[in-house]
Amino acid sequence: MARKLRITVDHDVCVGNAMCETFATNTFALNEERQSEAVNPDGDPLSQILEAADNCPVSAITVADAETGEKLFP
């Protein structure tokens, strides 16, 4: 079974660039404010989620293992 992830998007920082939504379509979606939310942490393979986080132009996304707390990004 795939590991459970804890994904956060810092809304003090997120500018709604929406690149995360492009790289991990099922994981991220823009909310009413047009800021990104991790709507489904299991939405996409880990590699795609990490690519989405890496491509955030303002480093708003963190990814960690939900069970162990291990930091996966940054």
Q: What count of Cα atoms within 13 Å lies in the side-chain half-sphere of residue 10?
A: 11
End-to-end, the C-alpha distance of the chain in Å comes to 23
| Shortest Å distance, C-beta 39 to another protein | 17
Binder to another protein among 3, 4, 8, 15 (CB under 8 A)? 15
Question: Which of the residues 40 through 59 are near another protein (CB under 8 A)?
Answer: 54-59
Using CB under 8 A as the binding rule, whether residue 22 contacts another protein is answered as yes
In whole angstroms, give the CA distance from residue 25 to residue 21.
5
For residue 63, list its beta bridge partners.
7, 73
- Give me the residues that bind another protein (CB under 8 A), please: 12-13, 15-19, 22, 33-34, 54-59, 74
